[in-house]
Amino acid sequence: MGGASSRDQSAEASNTSLFSEDELKNLKSNFESGGVEKVTPLIQKKVNDLDNIELNIAVTGEAGTGKSSFINAMRGLQSEDKGAAKVDNKETTVEPTEYKHPSLPNVILWDLPGIGTVKFPANKYLKEMKFKKYDFFIIISHPRFTENDVKLAQEIKRLGKKFYFVRPKIDSDLDAVKRERREFKEEEELENIRSYCITSLQEAGISSPQVFLISKFDRHLYDFDRLSKVLEDDLPSLKRSVYILALPNLTLEIVEKKKKELKKRVWMLASLSGVLGAVPVPGVSLGCDIGILIGGIVHFRKCLGLDDASLRRLAKKAGKPVEELKAVVKGPMVGEITPDIINRLAWGATAVVVSGFELVLDHVPVVGSIFGAGSSFLMIYKLLSGALDDLTENARRVVKAAFGTDENDPK
């Protein structure tokens, strides 16, 4: 492939698929020794692993600190929405309570009881909460971080897990300061609050605390975007992908991030189709690949917020009639996906399959070399890529209709 070294090829392929570099080397080795038959179980296992991967986020803090509002915001819900966490100042959480993402149930936020209560004293908290199951921890406190918050962070660190301090209701705090002072500079006051939180935690024994100031109601204000970016950067690749796909579509930037992650999924599904070999080209006899295509398109649609429930939630968030958002959603990919639609799309794709084959192999030198131009790998790649492009454009139009902007940020 253009004289590139095998290491360069693996690195390049890793950027376009969810295979790690070691997995790509293993695939290549197995293919060279046993052909497609030997790599089939490896690829099928990878796809199954992706379907079953979970992201478990623990949210802890005392009653009234804003845990429920945070959990709802992370899932793109408002307090009155179906499945929303109940917003209450009373300590109603007596055991870890799970709240699944409304579209991606493998993303779970856990509301944990506050540490140091009568039922959960600090010395029993870790064991009772089964800390090892969570991928990272959000420690929420208001108006200040407590001794128990510090103890909790130290134990989380001891277990080798990531934790982040969140101070919510910052808009209410700023309003209170504004009423008390004639001169008020928001950025300066935010930095004072942030510095105070960090200094207090450092004095209590937390060496490099990460503190985020957020609004109770508006996810786009203050440090919420910064928190989201830090979480993305800190998660391992597969968990990061799941996290990004679970983000509510509040900006065009989020839509583009989702497309990038879903493009990796295209490679995975095309690879699965390649080993199954259900679609000879030419001929377009889709066979069992119909299921791969329909399942892939439905998944893309949910992740991009184009299903009916997601559109209703976004419309509510934006204060727009849902019909206004639905009006900009167009094309065959947003209706019922039937085998007939897939077959018509496939016939249209055959004209470009052979001509585009070398280009595809240039982008996936290891996986692409396993399958020939007559395999279903390229056909599924072309069909799913086209569907993803179509759905992404629809998602862009929805965000613009919801927030009235052509910029990356609807603010």
pLDDT of res. 209: 93
CA 145 to chain centre: 28
Flag whether 409 is in a domain. Answer: no
- The answer to whether the CB of 108 falls within 8 A of the CB of 99 is yes
Contacts (Cβ under 8 Å, ≥6 apart) of 132 = 159
Are 230 and 286 found together in one domain? no
User: What parts of the chain have a pLDDT lower than 50?
Assistant: 1-16, 278-286, 350-365, 373-374, 407-411
Flag whether 78 is in a domain. Answer: yes
Flag whether 309 is in a domain. Answer: yes
What is the C-alpha R_g of the chain? Answer: 24
Are 210 and 271 found together in one domain? no
What is d(CA 3, CA 388) in angstroms, rounded to the nearest whole number? 31
- Determine the structural domain holding residue 346 and report its residue range: 6-52+249-403
CA nearest to 223, candidates 140, 320, 152, 108: 140
What is d(CA 334, CA 387) in angstroms, rounded to the nearest whole number? 10
What is d(CA 268, CA 43) in angstroms, rounded to the nearest whole number? 8
Sheet strands (E) in 314-373 = none
Flag whether 259 is in a domain. Answer: yes
Say what the pTM is. Answer: 0.83
- The answer to whether the CB of 249 falls within 8 A of the CB of 396 is no
Flag whether 192 is in a domain. Answer: yes
**3-class DSSP state for residue 87?**
coil
Q: Domain boundary at 180, 214, 245, which?
A: 245
- Which residue bears the tokens 């080397």? 25
- Which residue bears the tokens 């001794």? 147
Are 339 and 288 found together in one domain? yes
- Which residue bears the tokens 């690749």? 237
β-sheet bridge partners, residue 139 = 60, 165
pLDDT of res. 405: 66
What CATH number is given to the structural domain containing 208?
3.40.50.300
Are 227 and 261 found together in one domain? no
Q: Domain boundary at 207, 225, 245, which?
A: 245
Flag whether 1 is in a domain. Answer: no
Are 144 and 219 found together in one domain? yes
HSE-up of 316 (CA within 13 Å, CB side)? 14
Flag whether 83 is in a domain. Answer: yes
Bridging pattern class, strands 97-100 and 162-167: unpaired
Are 112 and 142 found together in one domain? yes
pLDDT of res. 357: 46
φ/ψ of 140, rounded to 5, equals -105, 130
Q: Domain boundary at 211, 245, 279, which?
A: 245
Are 256 and 393 found together in one domain? yes
Flag whether 410 is in a domain. Answer: no
Contacts (Cβ under 8 Å, ≥6 apart) of 220 = 250, 251, 409, 410, 411
pLDDT of res. 279: 37
> Quick check: bond before 143 cis, omega within 30?
yes
CA nearest to 199, candidates 165, 228, 175: 165
For 26, 135, 319, 388, the CA distances from 46, given in Å and listed in that order, are: 12, 20, 41, 21
Are 315 and 327 found together in one domain? yes
What is d(CA 28, CA 370) in angstroms, rounded to the nearest whole number? 8
Amino acid at 263: K
**3-class DSSP state for residue 335?**
coil
CA 23 to chain centre: 23
Are 48 and 116 found together in one domain? no
Are 48 and 64 found together in one domain? no
Q: What is the tally of structural domains in the chain?
A: 2
**Which letter, b or e, does each residue of 189-225 get, where b requires 16 or more Cβ atoms within 10 Å of its Cβ?**
bbeebbeebbeebeebebeebbbbbbbbeebeebbbb
CB count in 10 Å sphere of residue 132: 9
pLDDT of res. 410: 42
pLDDT of res. 260: 93
Instruction: Compute the C-alpha angle 57/62/63, nearest 5°.
Output: 105
pLDDT of res. 368: 54
Are 64 and 32 found together in one domain? no
Are 353 and 314 found together in one domain? yes
